[in-house]
Amino acid sequence: DVRVYVEEAPGQRRELEAPTDMGLSLMELLKANEYPIQATCGGMALCATCHVEVLAGPALPEPSEDEWAMLDTLPVLHETSRLSCQIRLTPRVDGLVVRLAEVA
Ligand code: FES
């Protein structure tokens, strides 16, 4: 299993655990834990409502061109902004810390 952390308030992190053998994305894990993510495109990198800011943890693979294009449309973009639907929950992401980004 893999563990990721959601910073819900400064200094307050919630641990989420997920299996790594189901091909889940971080967006799916966040939704399953009732975080308010709309994911209207269903994880196709086409809506940006699954925007998160990566705060700490292992280096992630670079965003794809589609992900970049979508991130570019956001009114507020952080240096470490990502679309959580494009982050696969594999052992490589163990220890990742994210914060839900505000969606305008
Ligand atoms: Fe739509 Fe991630 S769910 S971009």
* Complex prediction ipTM: 0.99
Q: What is the pLDDT of residue 101?
A: 85
Joined together, the tokens standing for residue 29 give: 């894990």
> In sequence order, which residues have a C-beta less than 8 Å from that of residue 60 and are 6 or more positions away?
54, 82, 87, 92, 93, 96
Segment 25-69, tens digit of pLDDT: 999 999 999 999 999 999 999 999 999 999 999 999 999 999 999
Residue 95's pLDDT is: 98
Q: Which domains are assigned to the chain? A: 2-100 (3.10.20.30)
Average pLDDT of the chain is 94
CA of 51 to the centre of ligand 1 (A): 8
Residue nearest to atom 4 of ligand 1 (CA): 45
The answer, yes or no, to whether any atom of ligand 1 lies below 6 A from the CB of 63, is: no
Is residue 103 over pLDDT 80? Answer: no
